[in-house]
Structure formats: structure tokens, C-alpha cells
């Protein structure tokens, strides 16, 4: 009885907190830093999506930290789960004909869509993380339809480390050619709203997408192939 | 006039979502709950495009594209788990 | 109109959260958690954050479900031995 | 005028969505619920999106809506099929009124689970 009452009180408490959020106008009171980003961000960095320019350039070091956190998670999963000695792939039930032919039709579309998301990160909502997750979902569909799919874990970790390496290289290039670490103005800004604009943001987002996608595929492959 | 009909359509779709939730609460087997999840996904894709239309922002439809392409993988994973193929 | 959508979706999310906690069957709880992230992404869209909505849609509906199901199947295998 | 036509198409689509949801509530067993929840909602979504694209043509561009409809038409039957096959494999019974079960007949003929 006491438990029920406590649950009810918690719900009422959160309702009181959350209900005023319905009337929030996202533009009413901004801090001075946010005002500066909104006023100068589009002219300074040339990206049509302001969130992208904040995440990649103004707060680029935070994004680097997030990718490092994801890398540590992958390493932890690979460290904790033991490798299976005898493969028990034939114990799993095979998928049906419709699922495998539908997969062979849909997986290229999913990969293409993931590439679209991370190369258009400076124009549409989306970016490296979202595109990487979409690509990992395509590989996941392959795993679900094909029980004997083998992963080359060495190749995955090589792709992941090289994309991380080039990400850091671009960041250091910003120190020499432009204003600071991870500055995107090392290339010309281009026309506002084109695909080839906003300096290094599309390149950084492509590297991020490849890195996140290979890390998530590594986690899923480790989960499947372990005991 | 047309806006009122659009709003009525969205409310009917929301009512469909509530009915699907009732099947998810009640559903005797796991497969019933997975069907309810499938129907709720489809109705939410419709609602996302409705929100994109009435708030006059084209880029919101990208979220619906991600939904239509990704969310069926979850249902397939549940099915493969049930038939011991995961 | 937007207010009606927010209230109905919030109520459905609360019911699905209760289901996810109180259900005995673990797979049913995973499905309920999937419903929560499904509706949370619509709410993010209504709060004018399409980036977050896209992340929630991609991760919540596909990947976390599969990771949970892998974990449950590993636990079941350990219990069976 | 175009907006009125679009809104009526959207209304028809939303009624199909509602009927699909009502089908998964009222139908007697898993397989019947599945066909109500797939066929009716696929048609309903196509009509809903087409009506919105017709009415708000200045802010929802046609190519995106067409791509969305194509994705739904491709992905929805695959997930439904996988779920139906899994439900048959774990032995969920058909309702008493159903007259035929071709998958069970095939499995009895081949002597193995397909």
C-alpha cells in the first residue's frame, strides 16, 4: 500500500514539473552565448543547420569525447564477452525465403540512406551518429536474415581506428590553417546551402558516421558470436 | 474547412493508436504485442508527416523516412527471437 | 490540436512505462520500452528538435530492442544448462 | 479546392488506419489480427500521406512522400511475414472457424519444420 502511494506521489510530482513544458516557447529567453551562436553562426561557419555547426565546430571537443565513450563501450563489450569455441550457427533456425530476398533488396537502400544522412548533416537534421546507426541497422538486418554471416573483426577495428585517426588529423589541421582545434574553415566555405559547403563539416561527419557504424557493428557482432 | 478535416483525421488516427495500446496491454501472446507495436509504428509515421505539414517544415519528414526504413527491424528481431533464430 | 496530441501521447507513454515495469514476461517488457521510445521521438519533434528525434527513432526502435533480446537469449541459455 | 480534396483523402486514410487498429482488437486469433494490422494500415498510410502531400503541396514535397510510401510498401509485409512464421513455429493455434493450414500440411509432407 505504501509502495502504491509513493508511486502515485512520484507521478503527480513529475506531472507538476512536466506540465509547464507544454507552454514553453523555444525562442523566449536566450543566454548571451546562445544569442551569439544564433546571430553569428550561419555567417561564420556557412552551415545551414545551426545544431550541426555547434556540435561539430563550437563544441567539437565534446563530440570527440562522446565518440571516445562509444569506443570504450565497444572495447568493454569485446573484453567481457568470451569468444565461442565451436560455432553453433547450424543450431539456429534458418530464415525464410521472403526474408532473405527482401533483405538483399533492402540493405543497399538502407546503406544509401545512411550515407545520405551523414553527408547531408549540414543541411538536414541528422549527422554522423544518426547515419552510423542507420548503417549499423542495415548490417543488423543482414545478421538477422543470414545465420552463417561471418564478421572480420580485424577489418572492422581497422576501419574504426583509421576514421578516428583522420578525425584527429583534421582537428590538428585546424590549429595550423584556421582558428583552432577542429575549426571547419580549413577549406573554403562554399555557397550557403550546397552539398559542398560549410568547410570541413561534411568530411568530419562522414568520418564520424563510418566510426560510429563500425563500432556499433562490432558490439552487435560480439554479442552474437559470444557464449 | 480543410484544416478542420485534417485535424479530425489526426484525432481518428490517435484513437487507432489507443486501441492498439489496449491490444498491447491485453494481448495473450508475445506475437499479439508485436503486432500492436507494428500498428503503432505505422500510425506514428502518419502523425509525424501530419506534424511536418501543419508546422510547414519539410525537413521533419526525414524523421519519418528513418522510421519507415529502420523500425521494422525491431519486429523482425522479435520474430527471429521467438523462432530461436537470433 | 498540438496540445491534444501531446496529452494523448503522454498518457500512452505512462501506461507503456507501467507495462514495462510490471510485466513478468521480459520480451513483453522490451516491446513496451520500444513503444516508449517510439512516442518520445514524436514528442521531441513537437518540441522542435528533429536531430534528437532522429537519434531516438534510429536507436530506440531498432538497436536497443535487439541488444536487449540478445541479452535475454544469453540469460535463457545459461539457465537452461 | 485542392486542399479540400486532399483533406477528404486524408480522412479516408485515417478511417482505414482506425479500422486496422479495430481489426487487431476484434479479430479472433493472431493470424487474422496480423492481416488486419498489415493490409488496412498500409492502405490507410498511403492515403493519409497522399492527402497531406496534395493539400500542403508547398511544404511537403512529392518525391519525399513517394519515397516514404515506397519504403512502407516494401518493409511492412516483410516484418508481418516474419512474425506470422514465428507464431506458427512456436505453436500458436488457429481459431476454430479456420478451414485450412497449408504450412502445417507442407511440414507434415516433408517431415520437418520449414
Would the CB atoms of B49 and D52 count as touching at under 8 Å? yes
Closest CA–CA distance from residue A209 to any residue of chain C (Å): 13
Q: Which of B74, B12, B69, B8 is nearest to B43 (CA)?
A: B12
Would the CB atoms of C39 and B44 count as touching at under 8 Å? yes
**What is the C-alpha to C-alpha distance for residues D104 and C34, in angstroms, rounded to an integer?**
32
What chain C residue is nearest to A51 in terms of C-alpha separation?
C51
Phi-psi sector, A139: left (phi>0), alpha (psi -120 to 50), beta: alpha
For B6-37, give the DSSP string: HHHHHHHHHHHHHHHHHHHHH-SSHHHHHHHH
- Whether C and D touch (3+ CB pairs < 8 Å), yes or no: no
**What is the C-alpha to C-alpha distance for residues A43 and A41, in angstroms, rounded to an integer?**
6
Closest CA–CA distance from residue C35 to any residue of chain A (Å): 18
Which residues of B are less than 8 Å from C4 in CB distance? 11, 14
Which residues of A are less than 8 Å from D71 in CB distance? 109
CA dihedral A226, B75, D82, C67 (to 10 degrees): 0
Q: What's the residue count for chain B? A: 86
Please say whether the beta carbons of B78 and B30 come within 8 A.
yes
Helix (H) or strand (E) holding D39: none
Unique residue bearing C-alpha cell 521480459: C26
- Tell me: the pLDDT tens digits for D35-89? 888 888 899 999 998 988 888 877 667 888 888 899 999 888 888 888 888 888 8
Which residues of B are less than 8 Å from D42 in CB distance? 42
**Which candidate from C5, C15, C27 shows the least CB-CB separation from B30?**
C27
- Tell me: the pLDDT tens digits for D3-47? 889 889 999 999 999 999 998 888 888 888 888 888 888 999 999
Would the CB atoms of B14 and C5 count as touching at under 8 Å? yes
**What is the C-alpha to C-alpha distance for residues A75 and A160, in angstroms, rounded to an integer?**
12
Q: Is B60 on the interface with C (CB under 8 A)?
A: yes
- Tell me: the pLDDT tens digits for B30-71? 888 889 988 999 999 999 989 888 888 888 888 888 888 888
- Which whole number is the average pLDDT over C19-28? 87
- Which whole number is the average pLDDT over A133-152? 85
pLDDT greater than 80 at residue A106: yes
Which residues of B are less than 8 Å from C8 in CB distance? 14, 17-18
Q: Where are the domains of chain D?
A: 2-110
pLDDT greater than 70 at residue A87: no
Would the CB atoms of C58 and A219 count as touching at under 8 Å? no
CA dihedral C69, C72, C76, C77 (to 10 degrees): 70
**CA-derived radius of gyration, chain C:** 15
Q: A42 by DSSP, 3-state: which?
A: helix
Q: Is A133 on the interface with C (CB under 8 A)?
A: yes
**What is the C-alpha to C-alpha distance for residues D11 and D30, in angstroms, rounded to an integer?**
28
Q: A226 by DSSP, 3-state: which?
A: strand
Complex ipTM, two decimals? 0.88
Residue of D78, D85, D87 to mutate when probing chain A, most A C-beta within 10 A? D78
**CA-derived radius of gyration, chain D:** 18
| Buried-state track A128-157, b at ≥16 Cβ within 10 A, e below 16 | bbbbbbbbbbbbbbbbbbbbeeebeeeebb
Tell the burial category of A89 from Cβ atoms under 10 Å away from its Cβ (0-12, 13-18, 19+): middle
State residue A83 phi and psi, 5-degree precision: -75, 145
**Which candidate from C8, C16, C69 shows the least CB-CB separation from B78?**
C69
Would the CB atoms of B18 and C12 count as touching at under 8 Å? yes
Q: Where are the domains of chain A?
A: 50-79+97-225
- Tell me: the pLDDT tens digits for A1-42? 888 899 889 988 888 887 777 676 656 677 778 778 877 777
State residue A155 phi and psi, 5-degree precision: -65, -40
Identify the chains in contact with D, defined as 3+ C-beta pairs within 8 A: A, B
**What is the C-alpha to C-alpha distance for residues B67 and B63, in angstroms, rounded to an integer?**
6
Instruction: Give the per-residue pLDDT at A28.
Output: 65
For A132-143, give the DSSP string: HHHHHHHHHHHH
- A23: cell is 507552454
Q: Is B19 on the interface with C (CB under 8 A)?
A: no
Amino acid at each position: 500500500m505504501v509502495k502504491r502511494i509513493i508511486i502515485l506521489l512520484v507521478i503527480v510530482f513529475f506531472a507538476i514539473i512536466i506540465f509547464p513544458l507544454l507552454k514553453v516557447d523555444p525562442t523566449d529567453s536566450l543566454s548571451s552565448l546562445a544569442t551569439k551562436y544564433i546571430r553569428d553562426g550561419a555567417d561564420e561557419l556557412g552551415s545551414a543547420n545551426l545544431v550541426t555547426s555547434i556540435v561539430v565546430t563550437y563544441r567539437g571537443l565534446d563530440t570527440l569525447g562522446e565518440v571516445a565513450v562509444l569506443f570504450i563501450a565497444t572495447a568493454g563489450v569485446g573484453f567481457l564477452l568470451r569468444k565461442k569455441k565451436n560455432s553453433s550457427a547450424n543450431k539456429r533456425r534458418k530464415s525464410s525465403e521472403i526474408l532473405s530476398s527482401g533483405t538483399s533488396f533492402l540493405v543497399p537502400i538502407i546503406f544509401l540512406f545512411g550515407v545520405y544522412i551523414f553527408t547531408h548533416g549540414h543541411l538536414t537534421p541528422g549527422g554522423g551518429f544518426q547515419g552510423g546507426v542507420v548503417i549499423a541497422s542495415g548490417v543488423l538486418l543482414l545478421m538477422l536474415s543470414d545465420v552463417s554471416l561471418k564478421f572480420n573483426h580485424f577489418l572492422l577495428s581497422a576501419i574504426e581506428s583509421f576514421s578516428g585517426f583522420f578525425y584527429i588529423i583534421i582537428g590538428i589541421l585546424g590549429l595550423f590553417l584556421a582558428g583552432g582545434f577542429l575549426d571547419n574553415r580549413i577549406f573554403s566555405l562554399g555557397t550557403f546551402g550546397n552539398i559542398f559547403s560549410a568547410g570541413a563539416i561534411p568530411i568530419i561527419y562522414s568520418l564520424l558516421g563510418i566510426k560510429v557504424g563500425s563500432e556499433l557493428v562490432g558490439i552487435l557482432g560480439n554479442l552474437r558470436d559470444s557464449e | 474547412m480543410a484544416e478542420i478535416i485534417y485535424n479530425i483525421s489526426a484525432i481518428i488516427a490517435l484513437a487507432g493508436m489507443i486501441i492498439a495500446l489496449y491490444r498491447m496491454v491485453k494481448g495473450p501472446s508475445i506475437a499479439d504485442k508485436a503486432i500492436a507495436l507494428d500498428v503503432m509504428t505505422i500510425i506514428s509515421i502518419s502523425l509525424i508527416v501530419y506534424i511536418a505539414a501543419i508546422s510547414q517544415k519539410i525537413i521533419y519528414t526525414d524523421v519519418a523516412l528513418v522510421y519507415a526504413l529502420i523500425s521494422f527491424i525491431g519486429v523482425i528481431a522479435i520474430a527471429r527471437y521467438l523462432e530461436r533464430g537470433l | 490540436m498540438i496540445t491534444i496530441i501531446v496529452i494523448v501521447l503522454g498518457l500512452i507513454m505512462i501506461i507503456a512505462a507501467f507495462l514495462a515495469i510490471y510485466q513478468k514476461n521480459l520480451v513483453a517488457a522490451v516491446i513496451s520500452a520500444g513503444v516508449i521510445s517510439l512516442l518520445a521521438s514524436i514528442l521531441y519533434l513537437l518540441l522542435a528538435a528533429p536531430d534528437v528525434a532522429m537519434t531516438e527513432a534510429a536507436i530506440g526502435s531498432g538497436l536497443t530492442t535487439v541488444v536487449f533480446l540478445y541479452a535475454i537469449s544469453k540469460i535463457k541459455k545459461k539457465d537452461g544448462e | 479546392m485542392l486542399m479540400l480534396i486532399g483533406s477528404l483523402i486524408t480522412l479516408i486514410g485515417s478511417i482505414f488506419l482506425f479500422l486496422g487498429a479495430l481489426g487487431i482488437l476484434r479479430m479472433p486469433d493472431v493470424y487474422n489480427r496480423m492481416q488486419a494490422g498489415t493490409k488496412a494500415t498500409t492502405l490507410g498510410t498511403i492515403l493519409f500521406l497522399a492527402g497531406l502531400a496534395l493539400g500542403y503541396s508547398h511544404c511537403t514535397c512529392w518525391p519525399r512522400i513517394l519515397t516514404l510510401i515506397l519504403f512502407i510498401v516494401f518493409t511492412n509485409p516483410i516484418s508481418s511475414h516474419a512474425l506470422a512464421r514465428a507464431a506458427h513455429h512456436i505453436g500458436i493455434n488457429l481459431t476454430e472457424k479456420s478451414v485450412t493450414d497449408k504450412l502445417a500440411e507442407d511440414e507434415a509432407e516433408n517431415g520437418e519444420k520449414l
